[in-house]
């Protein structure tokens, strides 16, 4: 029995990565300077020349190796591990370092309130003295 691995379908890998990035064929086509039909043909091709893969990888924001070694299983494993572990360490990811002192802000607000009251009292005294 033969256990030969089937060759990677580079075009399908490009298509899946593009879809995962939320990019349409038209957007990828514009990024690499070809038509949407050309992108469709590239994604249907099993093999693609190295220069074109490099250009597409740059447009997608991934490495050539990511395109060549892409597998659905690795993506699912990554997301499952990422989201499973994120709930465990969720509290550690919260940034509690304030760049300002909240108490200073309360004092500043109170001082403005006191000043507004003083201004209001002065205005009312002027009105009473004017009569």
What are the domain boundaries of the chain?
8-87, 100-130
Q: Could you give the CA distance from residue 67 to residue 84 in angstroms, rounded to a whole number?
A: 25
CATH architecture of 8-87: Orthogonal Bundle (1.10)
Radius of gyration of the chain (CA): 31
Q: Would the pTM count as exceeding 0.85? A: no
What are the pLDDT tens digits along the chain (131 aa)?
455 555 678 899 899 889 888 889 999 999 999 999 999 999 999 889 999 999 999 998 888 888 888 877 766 666 566 555 544 545 555 555 667 677 888 899 999 999 999 999 999 999 999 86
45's CB contacts (< 8 A; 6+ apart) are 10, 11
């Amino acid at each position: 029995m033969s256990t030969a691995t089937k060759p990677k379908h580079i075009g399908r890998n490009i298509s899946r990565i593009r879809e995962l990035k939320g990019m349409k064929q038209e957007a990828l086509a514009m990024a690499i300077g070809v038509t949407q039909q050309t992108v469709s043909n590239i994604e249907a091709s099993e093999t693609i020349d190295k220069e074109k893969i490099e250009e597409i990888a740059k447009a997608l924001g991934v490495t050539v190796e990511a395109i060549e070694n892409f597998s659905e299983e690795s993506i699912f494993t990554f997301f499952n591990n990422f989201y499973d572990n994120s709930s465990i360490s969720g509290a550690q990811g919260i940034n509690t370092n304030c760049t300002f002192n909240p108490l200073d802000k309360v004092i500043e607000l109170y001082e403005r309130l006191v000043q507004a009251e003083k201004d209001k009292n002065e205005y009312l005294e002027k009105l009473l003295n004017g009569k």
